[in-house]
Amino acid sequence: METIIIIVFLAGYLAITLEHNLKIDKLIPALAMMAILWAIIALTHMDVFEVNAELRELEPTQIEEILLHHLGKTAEILVFLLGAMTIVEIIDYFDGFATIKGYIRTRSKRKLLWLFSILAFILSAIIDNLTATIVLITILQKVIKDRETRLWFAGMIIITANAGGAWSPIGDVTTTMLWIANKVSALELVKHVLLPSIVCMVVPVLLASRFKAFKGNIDSELGGLEEPKSKFGSTMLYLGLGAIIFVPFFKTITHLPPYVGMMLSLAVVATFAEIYSNSKFSISNVEGEGDDIVGHHSPVHHSLSKIELPSILFFLGILLAVAALESLGMLFHYAEGLNSAIPNTDIVVMLFGVGSAVIDNVPLVAASLGMFSEGMDNPLWHFIAYSAGTGGSMLIIGSAAGVVAMGMEKIDFFWYFKNIAWLALIGFLSGAGAFIFLRDFVLHG
């Protein structure tokens, strides 16, 4: 039966990896794989276990209990992401991200490269690397008219956004998963991964800044950038970003799960959004059609309708599918086999990073949660956060940031592989070296 389980999982995994070739959204195989795996376990009455991290052993349990346990853990991540996505959409409703365009004052390509790279690094740590990439490529399309030049900038945004997301508990889905699972704390994650992430960003940008593509000035005039559509745009941008940054502090103070803090932040941002929205549409009230207009233009309702539900369903499917393997004890035994075959865990974790470029980093990190039983803030988890977050940059399909950039700019897979992949690899290895040095000689020396 275990062979059938592995075949179903690998088939689903393959369908997810080949979503662009099959032209089937990855949420479909993820959900199907999850349902089939749990159905096989239930119908064949397979023994299920809960991993006891402290004793490093498997404890028998009931299928209803273990499924409810994994659903609860998955729901924590999904509700957290729903809150974060809604706040980002509320900022966008007020055109808050247009404020960022005001920072672009130079026409030098090299200076623009550094500006976009630093913005990507900082923004992705707050609003996650996927959203930061969407925001910056949207701005990029307004600033740079030449497509070839834009492709180079987009490639560098992918690398720097992924590097920025790796050191923040709210910067990447995988770091959020590790944080919510109590494998890393916000402060320790920043302490261990910030410097390696900076190295991972700076090295490729330094190399790229010498390329012909980043020499000279851009053709278009910067004065052509439009003004924000709402006078509350900048207020909502700073309020929204501040509310998301508040979440790790809330968790540290209250010791409650992060989604509770995210719901509080969403409530605060939504309150201001409704107040500003009512004042925005007050002219309509005078014309006697206000009630309907205000109801229809509720920024919260509008933002909730725009969040990316396919991603949420994909995470539900993939996390519960990996949970099925964990419940059968497969990941536990696989980890033991891997550790005996490759005693050096650093090599194992770096292989995770390379693997995340080929297949999605979410299931890899989900698998690592079931494979390793090290305690909270063990350097292993920090290294997994770094590797899974930055390794995906090596292929354009290896990260959510890469996939969205590929769609927005129609970037060719092989163009990226030829021009950007080696920069991402050098950045990844440089950052990994910095992490190992920091861990062995500075923090634990």
Res. 169 pLDDT band, cuts 50 70 90: very high
Res. 286 pLDDT band, cuts 50 70 90: very low
pLDDT for res 75: 92
Instruction: Count the Cβ atoms, other than its own, within 10 Å of residue 426.
Output: 15
Residue from 184, 110, 106 nearest 149 by CA: 110
Residue 31 lies in a domain: no
In degrees, rounded to 5, the angle at the alpha carbon of residue 312 between the alpha carbons of residues 307 and 318 is 160
Model confidence pLDDT, tens digit, residues 212-243: 888 888 876 554 455 557 788 889 999 999 99
For 206, the token pair is: 């330094």
Model confidence pLDDT, tens digit, residues 64-96: 899 998 999 889 989 998 998 899 899 988 888
**Once rounded to an integer, what is the mean pLDDT over residues 172-200?**
92
Residue 168 lies in a domain: yes
For 91, the token pair is: 């900022």
pLDDT for res 295: 43
The answer on pLDDT for 331 being more than 80 is: no
pLDDT for res 365: 86
pLDDT for res 279: 61
Residue 251 lies in a domain: yes
The answer on pLDDT for 114 being more than 60 is: yes
Alpha-carbon gap, residue 2 to 80, rounded angstroms: 33
pLDDT for res 192: 94
Q: Give the phi and the psi of residue 216 in degrees, each rounded to 5.
A: 85, -165
The answer on pLDDT for 424 being more than 90 is: yes
Res. 292 pLDDT band, cuts 50 70 90: very low
Contact 311, 19 (CB under 8 A): no
pLDDT for res 51: 67
pLDDT over 90 for what percent of the chain? 40
Residue 10 lies in a domain: no
For 432, the token pair is: 């990994």
Residue 28 lies in a domain: no
For 319, the token pair is: 């996390």
pLDDT for res 71: 93
14 sits in which H/E element: helix 2-17
Contact 204, 159 (CB under 8 A): yes
Between 397 and 188, name the one with better pLDDT.
Answer: 188
Q: At what angle do helices 27-43 and 309-327 cross, to 10 degrees?
A: 30
- Do you know the residue count of the chain? 445
Buried b (16+ CB within 10 A) or exposed e, 269-306: bbebbeebbeebeeeeeeeeeeeeebeeebbbebbbee
The answer on pLDDT for 211 being more than 50 is: yes
**Once rounded to an integer, what is the mean pLDDT over residues 171-186?**
90
Contact 401, 133 (CB under 8 A): yes
Residue 20 lies in a domain: no
Residue 80 lies in a domain: yes
pLDDT for res 269: 95
Largest Cα–Cα separation, the chain? 75
Alpha-carbon gap, residue 222 to 319, rounded angstroms: 44
Model confidence pLDDT, tens digit, residues 4-57: 999 998 898 888 877 778 888 888 998 999 999 999 999 998 888 876 655 556
Q: How far is CA 351 from the centre of its chain?
A: 19
Number of domains the chain contains: 1
DSSP class per residue in 334-359:
HHHHHHHH---HHHHHHHHHHHHHHS
Residue 332 lies in a domain: yes
Residue from 311, 312, 281 nearest 298 by CA: 281
Coil vs helix vs strand at 62 = coil
pLDDT for res 291: 43
Of 50-64, 140-154, 308-322, 337-351, minimum mean pLDDT range:
50-64
pLDDT for res 343: 78
pLDDT for res 307: 84
pLDDT for res 445: 55
In degrees, rounded to 5, the angle at the alpha carbon of residue 128 between the alpha carbons of residues 311 and 12 is 30
Res. 278 pLDDT band, cuts 50 70 90: confident
Alpha-carbon gap, residue 94 to 228, rounded angstroms: 8
Residue from 395, 306, 410, 375 nearest 92 by CA: 306
Range of the domain at 367: 47-443
pLDDT for res 285: 44
Alpha-carbon gap, residue 434 to 19, rounded angstroms: 35
**Once rounded to an integer, what is the mean pLDDT over residues 323-349?**
82
Pairing of the two strands 48-52 and 57-61: antiparallel
The answer on pLDDT for 290 being more than 80 is: no
Model confidence pLDDT, tens digit, residues 54-71: 555 677 788 889 999 899
Alpha-carbon gap, residue 213 to 148, rounded angstroms: 8
pLDDT for res 228: 58
272 sits in which H/E element: helix 258-280
For the entire predicted model, the pTM comes to 0.81
For residue 331, the one-letter residue type is L
